[in-house]
Chain A
Amino acid sequence: SQTIHQWPATLVQPVGSPLSLECTVEGTSNPNLYWYRQAAGRGLQLLFYSVGIGQISSEVPQNLSASRPQDRQFILSSKKLLLSDSGFYLCAWTTLETQYFGPGTRLLVL
């Protein structure tokens, strides 16, 4: 069966520091991968999606970037974090018409 992992689970970072969040999927090949952000009290905002290695589409201009160095690995990065980057970051993958989500990473920028 398919499994999706995210780490770290929780992260506290100072403003201006770099960021790297990792997502990996097991049990499938060539998945579509997604990064979402959920701010406190708000819905989910799609940040990036990828249909293959090295193929990244950005949905919202922002302080973040994404990369897909391997088929089942999706990384969310920032060179300098802003306070507004705080939130709950969720990775997801698609099989047919359904998206399945990872456990999430809670990021607090101070």
Chain B
Amino acid sequence: AQSVTQLGSHVSVSEGALVLLRCNYSSSVPPYLFWYVQYPNQGLQLLLKYTSAATLVKGINGFEAEFKKSETSFHLTKPSAHMSDAAEYFCAVSENTGFQKLVFGTGTRLLVSP
């Protein structure tokens, strides 16, 4: 069975600082990996995805993530945080097969201070 672990339910950074949100996964088959962002009272928006192509994936809003098979990780980074990045971030995994069923982590709330 697949699973996702997001370390840290809350991460606080200062505006302009590096953002690092951690995600580790468990999967018995080659995974697809996703990061979603959720702003208050809104649905989830896809930030980026890994689907077995390039291991360094670039997404929207300056975010990127690197797939590291040896570490079973897919951490999300952004070089310089903006106030508008404050939101909840979810990592998700699905099997690299025909029908997609996502398994989500419990989320990390990013707080950005001026």
Q: Which residues of A contact B (CB under 8 A)?
A: 6, 32, 42-44, 46, 49, 51, 88, 90, 92, 94, 97-104, 106
How far is B19's CA from A78's CA once the two chains are assembled, in angstroms?
41
List chain B residues, Cβ under 8 A from A46. 101-102
Q: How many residues of B contact A (CB 8 A)?
A: 22
Contact of B90 among A32, A44, A106 (CB under 8 A): A44
Q: Report whether A43 and B42 are in contact in the complex, using a CB–CB cutoff of 8 Å.
A: no
* A90: nearest chain-B partner, CB-CB: B43
Q: Bound state CA distance, A32 and B101, in angstroms?
A: 10
Can you report 13 A-B residue pairs in the complex whose CB atoms are below 8 A from each other?
A32-B100, A42-B107, A43-B105, A44-B90, A51-B99, A97-B94, A97-B100, A98-B34, A98-B100, A101-B36, A101-B45, A103-B43, A104-B43
Given contact pairs A32-B99, A92-B44, A97-B100, enumerate 8 new A-B contacts (beta carbons under 8 Å).
A42-B107, A43-B104, A43-B107, A44-B104, A97-B49, A99-B34, A99-B46, A101-B36
Q: Given the known A-B contacts A43-B106, A104-B41, are A99 and B90 also in contact in the complex, defined by CB atoms under 8 Å?
A: no
